Amino acid sequence: MNVKTASLTDLTDAQLTSLVLSMGEPEYRVKQLRNQIYRGLAFSFEEMTDLPLALRQALEKVTPLHSLKATHQVVGQDGTIKTLFTLVDGNTVESALMGYPQASGRQRNTVCISTQAGCAIGCPFCATGQQGFKRNLTRGEIIDQVLYFANYLKNQNHTAQEITDKTASTLSNIVFMGMGEPMSNYDALWPAIETLNSPDGFRMGARNITISTSGLVPQIKRLSSEKLQVGLAVSLHAADNALRDKLVPINRKYPLEELIPACKEYYRATGRRVSFEYVLFKGINDSLPRARALAQLLRGLACHVNLIPANNTGDRTYQPPSPQTILAFERELKLNHINATLRQPRGQDIDAGCGQLRSRFVSETGSRKKTLNKV
């Protein structure tokens, strides 16, 4: 990595220290700089007022502070915020901020982060999968999505605190469920997580971080041995190989006979139950026999199933079932002693499903429509 072209959030601790020392500054400036980035949530060198002006000017000449720029943003009726980011090479990725009101009067805020521009897995129902794969994101590009929304909440809360004590909370959870397969970008993802968790970084608790995967078995095993016990979510969608081969093509390489034992190994190593995401498609995987097969597959594994009605990506093949069918599926799982929760998709009115905003941006740019809000 070229330190002079990488963003500050892309740099390792050693690289950041080397850069600061090369400018003739004492080493304690590194801690001040990290504090401004990850705790102060500075988005310009001008905001770093506890650093000498000469250092700020020198840094601005050689390296950008952040690695991406928010260019378009939409807000849903349920409060979900979807933001499209442009990367330095012109590629675009998207992230979402979702708020969940709590009984305490505060709000749990979860940010959904992308790890790749596009995706190579090729799930036929996924808007990102239909876009193809462009490239992996860097650690800085992953981190900067989190910092953007943390900064957004900080600014919102400052205004709210002047009005009421029942303010929204700060960012409380990070889920890597956006564009791309996180486990395919493990070498950038894990350093980003370490920085987001670090006492010298963003300080997000490991148990408030979840990685979603379509089922990359070697990486699940690798995750089981990490010191930080982050959560694991597996996009399952079918309980037999024949159907899962179609819905989640990576299953042809890592079939259920390998995936489920890897999930059990994760639980034994970490003590954390596995979440399984099961998107329900009308007439495809939503029948009661399918529910019973799912219960049989997961029996004996400490897990929780999140049932999610399909998002409409324009493909008539993959439509959501009726509410009655969805409730019957959930009921059947519970009758078979499987913990399950029905989760309504967030931000449906703004195409908040993975990859949908990017698809809409590309389409509307080509047709010169102007329904997206610039940031």
Give residue 102's pLDDT band: very low, low, confident or very high (50, 70, 90): confident
Among 105-119, 145-159, 240-254, the minimum mean pLDDT is found in: 145-159
Active site members: 94, 354
pLDDT of 351 strictly over 60: no
Q: Could you identify the residue written with the tokens 């894990």?
A: 190
pLDDT of 43 strictly over 80: yes
pLDDT of 269 strictly over 60: yes
pLDDT of 165 strictly over 50: no
Which amino acid makes up residue 323?
P
The whole-number pLDDT of residue 200 equals 92
- Give 22: exposed, middle or buried? Use CB within 10 Å, 0-12, 13-18, 19+: exposed
> Which phi and psi (to 5°) does residue 75 adopt?
-125, 130
The domains found in the chain, sorted by start residue, are: 8-62 (1.10.150.530), 68-374 (3.20.20.70)
Q: What is the mean pLDDT of residues 208-231?
A: 97
Q: Could you identify the residue written with the tokens 């807000």?
A: 75
Higher pLDDT, 347 or 222: 222
pTM: 0.89
What percentage of the chain has pLDDT greater than the value 70?
86
Q: How far is CA 41 from CA 37, 126, 192, 240, 246, in A?
A: 5, 33, 16, 46, 43
The whole-number pLDDT of residue 360 equals 45
For CA atoms 308, 137, 175, 186, the dihedral sign is: positive
The whole-number pLDDT of residue 276 equals 98
Q: What is the mean pLDDT of residues 32-37?
A: 96
What percentage of the chain has pLDDT greater than the value 90?
78
